[in-house]
Amino acid sequence: MANIFAIILTTATFITAIFWFLEKFKWKPARQRKVEEIRKQTNGEIDGKVLAEVGKPKGWVENLSSFFPVLFVVFVIRSFIYEPFQIPSGSMMQTLLIGDFIAVEKFSYGLRDPITNTVLISTGHPKRGEIAVFKHPDGSNRDIIKRVVGLPGDKIIYLFNEDKIVIYPACQSSDVNCVGQRSEPLDLHYTKPQQSNWKEVNEDNKPYLSFYTLEQYKDKGIVDSRTRITFDMAIQQETLGEFTHDILTTIGKRDDLTRIYRQNGQPVATWVVPPGNYFMMGDNRDNSGDSRYFGFVPEENFVGRATAIWISFEKQPDEWPTGIRFSRIGGIH
């Protein structure tokens, strides 16, 4: 959908630009010359209303050319500066909630062609711990949002029993006497898991998971007859690079290890990130389809870095909002 909109916006901007330039540099000067000719032929005694009618552009030309400045500004902002995105699922809770509308900085990872997403001018690379939007690596062109966990060359181990990541970082070009991955893993500074303010609810009448705060859960009056299963959720902090953030895990929920992406030559739940690729994960660790399941994300798939929440609606997936969360408006980390 996002790519279709980009195509429509680009096409509309291009078409209106043609009419704007023709009107400004060809048709309008031609009408002005015709007005002057008529004035000279009548010695200036012609009715001003007649001259105004002669100099007036056709309605459709005026409308199309007038749209161009607005479309051009929208095109530049959306294609190269900031693009709005809506959070549709709970995979990035509690950093990002269902109903958050975020601003994505498009120039963080390069100025890109708005249709093909090809980098035109390189401006930077994804950093560990950043939240980024990218095109799904399955080729569907879907926009996905996750956190950057593994950089090119990193060795990633996910401990499913502990819901923790182990990262052996790749050597940087400035490292001396270091080849491949470092022998010591990064210290990700995990805090002790505690009971969170969230409940995961699988309701019989809904095809998706819902997430409620304890207050919402009580107010909604959900009873066992309406739910297949309800889980409590634990919360703890994790540090990736310069970013310390909360992660959620679902207490008592078992992982389906048959869905894990298997990399050739590596044990289950162990991956070495190839050059030019990244390993992405959601903060809601037991409810995120991410690199653990679909594999690595090529750098050319990145769209931009999530920077701020500009509005947040209280809602569940595919439901109408019930309120606005003003307290969530602001920066993202």
Q: Which residues are catalytic?
A: 91, 146
| Measured distance CA(75)–CA(136) in Å, rounded | 23
DSSP strands (E only) in 111-163: 111-112, 119-121, 131-135, 143-150, 155-159
| Measured distance CA(115)–CA(6) in Å, rounded | 6
Torsion of CA 16, 111, 5, 147, to 10 degrees: -160
Q: Are 233 and 196 in contact (CB under 8 A)?
A: yes
- State the residue for tokens 């919402």: 216
Paired strand residues for 202: 209, 229
Q: Which amino acid is at 158?
A: Y
Q: Which amino acid is at 231?
A: F
Paired strand residues for 78: none
| Measured distance CA(168)–CA(155) in Å, rounded | 5
| Measured distance CA(42)–CA(14) in Å, rounded | 41
User: How far are the Cα atoms of 13, 213, 229 from residue 313, in angstroms, in the given order?
Assistant: 31, 15, 26
Question: Kindly report the CA angle at 273 between 270 and 275, in degrees rounded to 5?
Answer: 160
Total residues found in the chain within this entry: 333
User: H helices within the chain, ranges in order?
Assistant: 2-22, 28-41, 48-55, 59-76, 214-220, 291-294
Instruction: Supply φ then ψ for residue 186, to 5 degrees.
Output: -65, 145
List, in order, residues 6 or more apart from 303 with CB less than 8 Å away.
83, 104, 106, 112, 117, 132, 133, 134, 135, 143
